[in-house]
Amino acid sequence: MPERSELPESQESIGRRLRETREAFNLSPREFYEVVGFSKTQLENYEAGRRLMKPAMAVLVINAFPAAKLDFNWLYHGDLAGTSHDFATRIIARRRSERAA
């Protein structure tokens, strides 16, 4: 059985996808939390996997980037199928470059 942090629904995995989302838009943490409406501490806790991002907070992320077609399936389960082609391409490219490094 995979460790909890490797499960797609774990706090850590959700936080990792939130960070990937921010980086896909080339936003600094400050730019991201200001656009989305999080506090600095909230974003830090979510990205680090110290706190679980509640659905109401995920809605803020989804609504902040309508062109990307972000959804709960991406943020909570890692499923890119419902997101925009451009967003999915950015995520896949970033993951490939991280693996190659």
3 within 8 A of 41, measured Cβ to Cβ? no
4-100 is a CATH 1.10.260.40 domain: yes
- Backbone angles phi and psi of 9, in degrees to 5: -95, 0
pLDDT band at 3 (very low <50, low <70, confident <90, very high): very low
Domain boundaries, the chain: 4-100
**Which contacts (CB < 8 Å, 24+ apart) does range 23-30 have?**
23/94, 24/68, 24/87, 24/90, 24/91, 24/94, 25/65, 25/68
- Distance (Å, whole) CA 76 – CA 98: 21
Q: Residues 55-77: pLDDT tens digits?
A: 999 999 999 999 999 999 999 99
Quote the pTM value: 0.90
